[in-house]
Structure 1
Amino acid sequence: MNRRNVLGLPLAFATAGLPLPVRAQAAFPDRPMRMLIGFAAGGPTDIVGRRFADRLGAVLGQPVVVENRSGASGAIASVEAARARPDGYTLMLATSSSHAIYASLAVRPGFDPVTDYAPLALIGVVPMVIGAHPTFAADLPEVLGRIRAASGGIAIATSGNGGIAHFAAELLLRQAGGLRANLVHYRGGGPAVQDAIAGHVPAVVETFATTLEHHRAGRLRILAAFTEQRSAAAPEVPTAIEQGVPGMLANTYNALLAPAGTPAPVVARLAEASAEAAAEPEFQAFLRSVSVEPVPGSTPARTADFIRSERAKWEPIIRATGLRIE
């Protein structure tokens, strides 16, 4: 075949066997991202989320814009994140309220806390504690002794019916030998703590973050942390375990998730960037300043295991109360 014949062939035949041009793939991310937070602006989760979003955006080279979708213990944000396009540009900050409590409490939560998401990183955990008015008790054994003697007559405040503080209090009573108390559910941790400070209720179960300032000022005495080890923020506070209540571990957490189906390379990039952002010393110091314990060495696999284990821990406690959300 001569040169003229080759040049005279239709283009489709003349180019057969040659590699097709490949469209260049833009590096991820190439535009701003959003992070959904299921709680109101200015709350503890929002404060941590916004600081982390700033750090993550700096690492990735694109802004990470926080969008608050408050309501239903974080379920509104959870549903929106689960249904978002799985391209890595929509993230959410999950907590125990949404992914451990609400997902087990609701008859139709609208999302599955495990299968509907691609876990990226566990940023920090917020320990739960029990505090009391300074005149009520000196330590946890004294509180438990008073509860045992009163046969349900001692009031313990929580931040709300069906919340993490509610079920942490239920777990404490269960682990202490099946005790009964009068759980008084408030509309938020602030009012619950204030009534304990005022002496209207003798004890309160809340987060370290909500109670620590009052403990340091002497207005409220934190009697026990529901952790394995004492907190660096308040090393004088013993754990419930070391005071004779085995298995008394309760916390809320902040975990970064993407929608299920997000491409593996994008998940890997987000996980790598999240680990770098979370390990920044200034950010870790900030977390500790608001009583959040950083989680070093977090990976997608460890985050997934943690979320599964937290849900499994709280499910039997929730069922035992008989409480359900229709």
Structure 2
Amino acid sequence: MIVILGTGGTIAGTAQSAADGVGYTAAQLRVEDLLAAVPTLAGRRLEAHQVAQLDSKDMDVATWQALAAAVQAQLERPEVGGIVITHGTDTLEETAYLLHRVVAPAKPVVLTAAMRPATALVPDGPQNLADAVQVAATPGAAGVVVAFAGRVHDALQVRKTHSYRVDAFESTDGALVARVEEGAVRVLGCWPTGEALGLARIAAPAADWPRVDIVLNHAGADGCVVRALLAAGVDGIVAAGTGNGTLARPLEMALRDAQAAGVRVLRSTRCDAGPVMDLPGLLPSAGALSPVKARIELMLALLAR
């Protein structure tokens, strides 16, 4: 059996007109409605639960906690072979990475979404949902992945790279886990694995989670934002540097001051792909993590203190 967990998003969005692909309201339909729109799933053994109903730009810690707990509870049921999560595209990569780090499941957890609302003339959600169910039912599948536009990405690599196209997601180093072709899953690589940190890592009340913010390096960047964050009581800062995590001197000095004051700092890159090298004398590297995933990694580290 495959369990579908709904969280809202564009895939559940509606608009006044089928011609309107951007002026819609997200998170209007329930997950049962989404399943009813995919006739090919009618004969599958499925179970649906609504965990949240929001536009994923508004994703928050409390919803992450509820979703992670729901995923863990379903994974512990022996009759459940896999899980599909319907989600908005805006923060999908963040949710996928969080689940990868705290759950690291031996069964597949497949996130999917849509770029067009359910009321669009040609919605992409039904096909993505059908593909996600097929991936979740694939023998040997495991870990947290994203099924979108016929491609399967792992939670570590996936990034939203386009604001409008229906194939909006990419694997940053180009290594797809699989492709879904006419309902058949063609495995290309390895299913993601990892050591689960466990739900206890994220059990603190949402109000008690560490504050971690992201600052961007750019021409003329200075330390004003960093100093404002320090005054606001920030616990961690991820710097989205240029290139190999490089930082303008005034910004770097402000970050070093924050680090000296007890704030954890990581360097990432604003580039679409590629790691940040951890070199002597530089601020700590986030490796190949994007700024938003590095932020989650830093929050999880601070929660363990």
| TM-score normalised by length of structure 1 | 0.30
Higher helix proportion (structure 1 or 2): 1
Q: Which has the higher contact order (CA 8 A, sep 6+)?
A: 1
Larger radius of gyration: 1
